Amino acid sequence: MKRVMIVGATSAIAAACARRWAAQGCEFFLVARNAEKLERIAHDLRVRGVGEVTLHTMDATDLKAHPTMLKRCIDTMQRIDVALVAYGTLPDQYACERDVSTAVQEFNNNGVSVIALLSLLANRFEAQAHGTLAVISSVAGDRGRPSNYLYGAAKAAVSAFCEGLRGRLFRVGAHVITIKPGFVDSPMTAGLKLPRLLVATPDQVARRIVSAIERRVCTQYTPGYWALIILIIKSIPQPIFKRLKL
């Protein structure tokens, strides 16, 4: 039986991944800050036949809470076959430009706290010499755009961290996957004006994430056409790129 930890388990993408893993008969350790939403996710998984679901309430931006959470996870499951780090916030870029404290807080939410958690998980994966650590970053981290460069900078930091971590854990037989979703129809993007043709459902994204973990790929764009879109965006010369309203 595969043993799966999900941090940020109440996100739309994470919940969709959990439903797919539930069909495989996995055991779960689910972490999120909203106990009520967490219980709803667990109830849905139990209805689908999952036997073991352990819940842990934690604000992932509270770095001091990470060790206690991980210890409880190991005490409960003994090992982690898959850890999915799936939490984050989508900040208001304008608000970040106008208020430094907001900018720092959002960078901590999406960058610093994720890197802190990955550092702790990496030591565990190194010790057990086994498993896959999957991290949801974003296509926004591939090139800074005026519309969301604070968010993009935090995701870029996470992606670069994962690249180095992948090399470290490769030596002991563990694996790191960087997940780069594009636009996803979720509560995080509610109210945003997005090009409908480029908006994927959480389940479409989850299908590629679960598949990528099984295939142990290094970086997974989802949907896959974002790899081509980002390749084009990254190839635009800076003198032109800075004039674009992206």
Give the CATH number, domain containing residue 149.
3.40.50.720
The Cα 161–Cα 113 span in angstroms is 12
Cα→Cα distances 90→11, 85, 96, 111, 162, Å? 12, 16, 11, 12, 20
The Cα 93–Cα 204 span in angstroms is 27
Q: What is the pLDDT of residue 195?
A: 82
Q: What is the pLDDT of residue 185?
A: 87
Positions of the chain with pLDDT lower than 70, given as ranges: none
**Secondary structure of residue 142 in the 3-state scheme:** coil
User: Terminal CA-to-CA distance of the chain, rounded, Å?
Assistant: 45
Range of the domain at 231: 3-242
The Cα 11–Cα 16 span in angstroms is 9
**Contact status, residue 111 vs residue 91, Cβ threshold 8 Å:** no
Q: What is the pLDDT of residue 188?
A: 80
Minimal CA–CA distance to 135: which of 108, 105, 106, 166? Answer: 166
The Cα 45–Cα 224 span in angstroms is 28
Minimal CA–CA distance to 106: which of 85, 92, 119? Answer: 92
Q: What is the pLDDT of residue 51?
A: 80
pTM score, two decimals? 0.94
Q: How many domains does the chain fold into?
A: 1
Sheet hosting strand 219-222, strand order edge to edge: 53-57, 27-32, 3-7, 82-85, 132-136, 175-181, 219-222
